[in-house]
Amino acid sequence: MKDLKYLSAYTIPLMAVIALSLKGYFSYLTLVYAFGIIPVLELLLPLDGSNLSEEERDSKSENPFFDWMLFINIPLVFSLLIYTLIDVSTHTYATYELIGLAFSTGIVLGSNGINVAHELGHRKDRFSQLAAKFLLMPSLYMHFFIEHNFGHHLHAATAEDPATARYNQNVYSFWFTSVSRQYISAWKIQLDLLKRENRQFVSAKNDMLWYLLFQAAYLFVIYWFFGVSGLIFSVAVAVIGFLLLETINYIEHYGLRRNKLSSGRYERVKEIHSWNSNHIIGRVVLYELTRHSDHHYKASKKYQLLDYHNTSPQMPYGYPTSMVISLIPPLWFKIMNKRIPREMKEAF
């Protein structure tokens, strides 16, 4: 019964539906809920650092319930997106309402789209991987599948990783460096894979080329059915969606560094190289993404099985709260810099 807590993840698209229905200042309801109400709840509710017993782990590892919790997000995300596009392209709204609806939809694309795609993208079966790419498409971030799995998990907490924020780097600078460097990195990884398999650039195995074509086709279909206003709206919500992801990337590894060994290689990723949070609301709404330390320690582990390691660096607040704080760099630095081990600071 307690596993039904993951239904909480659907409260974000629910808020978006209410925002779309009520309009006016309620257009901002999802934004207020995700970064206002949830942070307050995180401050009021106790932390949960408990791990599963072996018996619980065995029963949950193959339970299809947890997979369906993810797959249900596919029709949810696309239904909401299509309905919103129909609505904004056929009605006249004040600018402030359109901005609010864009934030509401974009937050859903980030939390229930990209975040779920991240989890599914680590699965080995082809269906889950295709579902992950499908969920990344509305955010125009399909390259994330390649860069995250073949780049970030290899280079996390090093200077070579675009998605690891440097010590004293603010989130706004990180948005630019991470977005641009991850895209370039994804192409480098793809070209290297093609070279290893002795394939040409124009090849059925060039996934990056396919991503370009699919995303261009997606935008063309949006323009064809919903006109210029729909196209502009879809691009706006995509940007909001992937900036939400990049803000999460920012807080996940901020200031943490792996040691370089005498061989010139980095030590393997450990539990100390990602920020962990046991704040229960953020955990269930983001499908345990906040137990990021264990995710990097063993990326193939499903979200419902992730553990808390007491050696992992702990965030003083949950991920949603930390994301809000990161938008105020002086406050973020004051809270977080003193928590980073001295030897990691010196690595910068």
pLDDT at position 289 is 95
pLDDT confidence band for 104 (50 / 70 / 90): very high
pLDDT at position 343 is 81
Q: Is 162 helix (H, G, I), strand (E, B) or coil?
A: coil
Mean pLDDT of 335-341: 94
pLDDT at 32 over 90: yes
Q: Which residues are registered as beta bridge partners of 260?
A: 266
Burial class (CB in 10 A: 0-12, 13-18, 19+), 175: middle
pLDDT at 263 over 90: no
DSSP tally for the chain: helices H, then strands E: 18, 0
Q: Is 266 helix (H, G, I), strand (E, B) or coil?
A: strand
Cα→Cα distances 320→42, 115, 245, Å: 9, 13, 12
Domain extents for the chain? 2-346
Q: What is the CA radius of gyration of the chain?
A: 20
Among candidate residues 336, 341, 313, the one with its CA nearest the CA of residue 168: 336
Q: Is 306 helix (H, G, I), strand (E, B) or coil?
A: coil
Give 223's contacts (C-beta < 8 A, 6+ positions apart). 230, 231
pLDDT at position 194 is 95
Mean pLDDT of the chain: 95
Angle at 23 between CA 19 and CA 29, to 5 degrees: 35
pLDDT at 348 over 70: no
- List, for residues 164-193, the tens digit of each pLDDT value: 999 999 999 999 999 999 999 999 999 999
Cα→Cα distances 239→135, 235, 280, 295, Å: 14, 6, 28, 26
Burial class (CB in 10 A: 0-12, 13-18, 19+), 345: middle
pLDDT at 1 over 80: no
- List, for residues 74-96, the tens digit of each pLDDT value: 999 999 999 999 999 999 999 99
State the residue for tokens 């920020």.
Answer: 275
pLDDT confidence band for 325 (50 / 70 / 90): very high
Angle at 107 between CA 112 and CA 62, to 5 degrees: 15
Provide the token pair at 314: 């702990």
pLDDT at position 346 is 64
pLDDT confidence band for 261 (50 / 70 / 90): confident
pLDDT at position 26 is 97
Mean pLDDT of 14-42: 96
- List, for residues 280-312, the tens digit of each pLDDT value: 999 999 999 999 999 998 888 999 999 999 999
pLDDT at position 345 is 73
pLDDT at 347 over 70: no
Mean pLDDT of 156-171: 96
- For 260, list phi and psi in degrees, rounded to 5: -95, 130
Q: Which residues are registered as beta bridge partners of 151?
A: none
